[in-house]
Structure formats: C-alpha cells, structure tokens
Amino acid sequence: MRSKTRQCGFTLTEMALVVATIALLLGLGLPAVRMLIHSFESDTGARGMINAALSNARAIAARDQRYAGVRFQQDSEGNQYMIFVVHDFEKTGLSPGFRVVEGMKPIKLPENSGVMDLMVRTNHGASPAAAASSLDEPLMTAHLDDTNPQNLGPDRKNNYVRDASTFSVVFSPSGKLVVRTIRVRNSDGIYQPDNGVSGKISPDTIFNSPINITDHGVGRFVQDDYAELGLGAEPSRNRFILYDENYFDKLDAQERFNYLSSLALIYINPYTGTMIQPD
C-alpha cells in the first residue's frame, strides 16, 4: 500500500510577504548604514589626507629653505581645500606674505569633512589696517548665528565660520612646526586686484579678489586682504578640530557651539609634523 507524502513549502502569497518584508527592512536600514560608512570614510580619509599634506609642506620648507605650510580654506561653494603656500616677501610685498607653491594644485577634503581652528579675527573692518591686524579671539556662540545679519557677508555666508575654517599650519626651513603671522596674497602681490582696472590686474588662478572671482572668473579663493570677510593676517596654528559639515549646518548657534566644543582637539607634533590623534 502506497503511503501519502506530506509536501512542505511556502505558498506564493507567503513568499511575497517575506520578500516584501526583507525589502522594507533593507529600505529602512541601508540609508543609516550608508551614512555610518560615509561618515567613517570621510573622517578617516580626511585625517590621512591632512597628514600627507603636512608631511609634504614640511618637505617643501626643508627643500626650499623657506617657511612653507598648508592653508585650509573654503571655496565659494563651501568645499574645503588644502593649499600649499610658501613665504615670499619679494612677490607679495608683505613681511608675513605667503603665496601658492608653484605647480601644486589645491586638494579638496572629503565631502562633509571640515576643519576649524576655533579662533576668529577681532578686527572685521574694511581698511588695509584691518586686514593687517592679526589679533584674534576664541570662537563664541554669537559668532555662529546665521540669523544675525552682522555675521553675514554679501554672499550671505557667515564670516566667522569662514574665518574659523580658514587657517594655516606652517613649518620653518629646519622642518619644525612654528607659530608665526601669515597673510596669503595672490602671486602678483596686488592689493585687492580688479581685472577691470588698469594696473590692478592679477591672473592668479588660486588666490584673488572677490570681484575677480565673481566678475572675471579668475581665482578660486579670496586672498587675505578682506578683513570684513574674516580674511586677513593671523597666527598660524598648531591644532584644529575635524567636524561634520552636514551635521554642523543643520544646527542653531548654541547647538553648533556645543557640538564644536565636544570635539577633541587634534595637535600637530612640532618635530615630525604628524597629527597627534586624540584618545
């Protein structure tokens, strides 16, 4: 006598429910996973890039036997770059004057990664003397308020945030990290150049004036002649913080200050030029 065998399995309806459930879980979970991975890659990638840039700047200082360093600065779109600069009194006409290292292009930091020195200028006037002043003070909550018109420049960007995210790390000809006043100017050495005015023309494709950048398409970063924009002479730095730009932009002034204050300072070894990672 033939015995009946019992068949086991899923019906089409049950299979559809399982597939739909898995798809739903993936849809909910993957964005969070992607954000976590992206954050990790951006932070780790930025640290590696900064360490490499510092090593290169130190080597340039020793090779050229002049002060050299890495300039951190945002472009008009808010992307932060590292730019190699060297001291050059002859071309800039300034005792603390630096210019771009010839043949070396700016290096863009990973998306969402930003660095700040947590210091801002005390003089935001529009005169030449204001740009020459190197006095600064710690970043405060009031500086981070994007709703305060006095904090915003003509481009509606926060001048204090621009100031804190613009700074330099400098090495001496012996390769040692130093703190000295630095003011980055275009390689033509022209104060507030304007390519529409005879005698004020500067074709510098890296550092230039706001008017040349916006009206003439020359230059990517504003030179240190515009204290009203938070850009002028200032001491070089030996420490900074690394922060998440996307997260920072979503916060109000107090939340921004609390967030930045919670981040560990990253110091630079004065003898090796490498970043000292916080515990």
Determine, yes or no, domain membership for 150: yes
What's the pLDDT score for residue 110? 92
Determine, yes or no, domain membership for 79: yes
What's the pLDDT score for residue 3? 55
Both structure tokens of 103: 């043949």
Both structure tokens of 82: 């590292």
The Cα 210–Cα 218 span in angstroms is 9
Both structure tokens of 44: 């780790």
The Cα 279–Cα 175 span in angstroms is 26
Determine, yes or no, domain membership for 52: yes
Determine, yes or no, domain membership for 210: no
Which residue range forms the structural domain that includes residue 115? 37-185+224-276
Domain count across the chain: 1
What's the pLDDT score for residue 17? 73
Determine, yes or no, domain membership for 216: no
Q: Which residues of the chain carry a pLDDT beneath 70?
A: 1-10, 14, 18, 20-21, 23-42, 279
Instruction: Give the pTM.
Output: 0.83
What's the pLDDT score for residue 37? 39
The Cα 129–Cα 179 span in angstroms is 21
Determine, yes or no, domain membership for 135: yes
The Cα 189–Cα 210 span in angstroms is 15
State the DSSP code for 75: -
Cross-strand pairs, 87: 98
pLDDT tens digits along 145-165: 999 999 998 888 999 999 999
Determine, yes or no, domain membership for 21: no
Determine, yes or no, domain membership for 3: no
In Å, what is the CA distance from 189 to each residue of 94, 124, 128, 217? 8, 22, 14, 18
Q: Which residues are CB-contacts of 105 (< 8 A; sequence separation ≥ 6)?
A: none
